[in-house]
Structure 1
Amino acid sequence: MRVLHVITGLNAGGAEHQLRLLLRGLDGIECEVVTLTDPGPVADAIRADGVPVHVLRMRGNNDVTALPRLVRLIRAGRFDVVHTHLYRACVYGRVAARLAGVRHVVATEHSLGDGQIEGRRTTAAVRALYLAAERIAAGPTVAVSQAVEQRLVAWGVRPSRITVIPNGIDPAELAFDERRRRATRARYGIAADARVVGGLGRLEPTKRFDILIEAVRTLPDVTLLLVGDGSARQQLEAQAKCIADRVVFAGATDHARDALCAMDLLAAPSEQETFNLAVLEALANGLRVLYTTCPPLDEVAEPVVVATKLPPEAARYREAIRVELSTMDARDAAQTPYAAGALADAVRDLYANLANRSPQAAGKRR
């Protein structure tokens, strides 16, 4: 089986890393990747794993010249399945696959929130375009959590076309390492004995990192490490000006492990999440976690005792940070409720089911 994965971009990000992990687990399936826009560091990592990456160099959302180029690439590759990731890739990839004559089209919906998709506000036009492409493809949509499944149904996607396959993490890639802790703290200018609360993710208003700045403002012995970049950075830097000596803006990172090793506690006050990989990655690093929204933790059978759910209020986070940092004396054991192997196995089964339903396969069975 030959599968082409179509993704909007391959800069550092949760969906991009999920694609990389998925590809690593799909042994025996010939995969290639096409990124519509920026190849970025994740493209380099995928190529290093031996998977071809094509770059379409799309100039913007309305660059319709990308569609015939994508159709030609799909036809030339003679792919059995086209699997799309992220909004723009879902729209263009689904349409291109049908025009190229590919029978099986799969789309993974990584980032559909309430009233937003991939951090941007959803409009009637955005929703209509998404649904039109979904109906053209007439293939399964993978939701990364039950919360995303419910939002897709509310949008108008048929429940029978949705399958829930949670994101996964690779515990070996996130394990705590004392040498990495020391080196990363030195690189960020953080004292070896400092008590560090971390925030990990895009610096966008929906992540509510402003709550963390306010929470640590009156905790004079606590350093806040914010790892990521985005449109809210300037506003957050202005808010943190009065405690600038205790707030570190590390910028975006290709991989979270070093930053997580430098932290003592992860705090995630976002009210709007489709999965919240940062929380799962922190647990795999042995960190305790304070969070507001993390659908996969709400969906596991057994509660994770080192993860505490809080309302998105600075006072509540301040008190929880104070308590957690004053009571911890060692790193906790790593928690890995969602492993990458399960993700790859579920997607492999989905591909196999599609192949078994094809007319060619039905003919062979007869």
Structure 2
Amino acid sequence: MKVLHIITGLGIGGAEQQLRLLLRHLPVRSEVVTLTNPGAVARGIEADGVPVTDLGMTGNRDLGALPRLTRLVRRGRYDLVHTHLYRACVYGRIAARLGGVRTVVATEHSLGDTQIEGRPLSAGIRALYLATERLGASTVAVSPSVARRLERWGVAPSRIHVVPNGIERHRFGHDEDARRLTRRRLGLPQDAFVVGGVGRLAPGKRFDRLVRAVASLPEAWLLLVGEGEERRRLLEAARSCGAGERVLLVGACEDPPPPEADGPDLPSLLAAMDVFVSTSPDESFGLAVVEALAAGLPVLYVACPAIDDLPPDAAPGARRIGESVPELISALRGIRDARLGRLPQPAAAGRYDIAHSARQLMSLYEQAVHGTPPPLLK
């Protein structure tokens, strides 16, 4: 089977890195088109042996991208096109149908209750999404929560299939040597209580609350992994709270790392932490929480469908909290005082193993390719 994946961009982000992981586990011939921004993840995918084409799209209204994409689809003679992220889903579904591909699968990675890919939802966004959704064979939701949101939007339940995001869980087992080495490289005291977070440094992630909470605990340090437009504001907030020296923003971390990487990888950064916190109030999955649990960390989170959709005993180390800074401070003090140490890898980590997700997706591919496809556009 020959599959073309179309994605909006390939900078470091959750959906982008999830695509790379899936490509490593899907037993098909794959190629990738990125509409824009062929960044670090594009280089990683190419290093894994999968070709990547940059369409060079200049913006959401670059309609000239559509015929270029259609030509790529037609020349490739693909059995299936798989689209990822909003813009790629809109353009990719149309191009696939015009390019003669009869089966199109789309994954909805980032539909929250009030936003999609960090942007507020609107009637126009919903209408365009639904109009093009009908051109595909099926839509993949990364969690039951996203599936329910798609249904509320108007997508037919029979067209929605849940295939959760996944992790290479064997890579996240705790390594005490990696903990010591990473703390030394980052300048973290070996005996410090280190609070951690991972994600885009964007307003919606609410990392400013985490900065204020850590500033209220004089013995605590904050290790944030990610990049974004909030970086300067977070550093300024840390300095104004008197915690500038205890807040480390180490930038984005490509995972899996490229062969030439010389900095710590994500499992090593998680090993350096004592507790993981997700302050985002609106998530479509919560992959960073699953990775932290797989690393044996106690986790505090505001919203995480990946955990909330499972039985309570699947992630005993995870605790849901409210959005207020005082509640977060109290919860951090409780974990600090309990000295929990490393926890066993929970059942949730096995539930979200990437090999399992790849098998589910492959089954959907087989059904889409060998079942009855929708008619071609004339």
TM-score, normalised on structure 1? 0.94
Match of 1:363 in 2: none
Letter in 2 for 1:92: Y
- The residue that corresponds to 1:194 in the other structure is 192
Residue identity opposite 2:66 in structure 1: L
**Where does the alignment leave 5 or more consecutive residues of structure 1 unmatched?**
360-366
State the match for 2:46 in structure 1: 47
Q: Which runs of 4+ in 1 moved over 3 A?
A: none
Give 1:249 shift: 1.4
CA deviations 1:279-312 (Å, max 9, x no partner) are 0000111111011111111111343111111111
What's the counterpart of residue 117 of structure 2?
A: 118
Distance 1:309 1:117 in 2: 23
Alignment partner, residue 361 of structure 2: 347
Question: Partner residue of 1:294?
Answer: 304
State the 1:158 CA deviation. Answer: 1.3
Are 1:34 and 2:38 an aligned pair? no
Deviations 1:307-340 (A, max 9, x none): 1111111111111111112222532222313110
Q: Aligned to 1:163, what secondary structure does the other structure show?
A: strand
Separation (CA, whole Å) in 1 of partners of 2:285 and 2:207 = 17
Which residue number corresponds to residue 100 of structure 2? 101
Mean CA deviation greater in 253-262 or 283-292:
253-262
Q: Secondary structure at the match of 2:250?
A: strand
The answer on whether the counterparts of 2:224 and 2:248 sit within 8 Å (CA) in structure 1 is yes
Is 1:145 aligned to residue 143 of structure 2? yes
Structure 1 residue 269, shift from structure 2 partner: 1.7
Q: Is the 8 A contact 2:137 2:368 kept in 1?
A: no
Higher relative contact order (CA 8 A, sep 6+): 2
Residue of structure 1 equivalent to 2:245: 245
User: How far apart are 1:189 and its partner, in Å?
Assistant: 2.1
State the alpha-carbon separation in 2 of the partners of residues 277 and 324 from structure 1. 22
Deviation at 1:41, TM superposition (A): 1.7
State the number of aligned residues. Answer: 357
Aligned match of 2:328: 317
Provide the residue aligned with 2:182 in structure 1: 184
Give aligned-pair identity as a percent. 53
Aligned to 2:133: 134
Q: 2:197, 2:312 → 1: CA distance?
A: 25
**CA RMSD between the two structures:** 1.5
| CA apart distance, 1:355 | 2.2
Name which of 273, 279, 303 aligns with 2:289: 279
Q: CA deviation at 1:232?
A: 2.2
Equivalent AA in structure 2 for residue 272 of structure 1: D
User: Which ranges of structure 2 fall in alignment gaps of 5 or more residues?
Assistant: 256-265, 374-378
1:330 corresponds to which of 336, 341, 348? 341
Q: Does 2:149 match 1:162? A: no
Partner-residue secondary structure (3-state), 2:37? coil
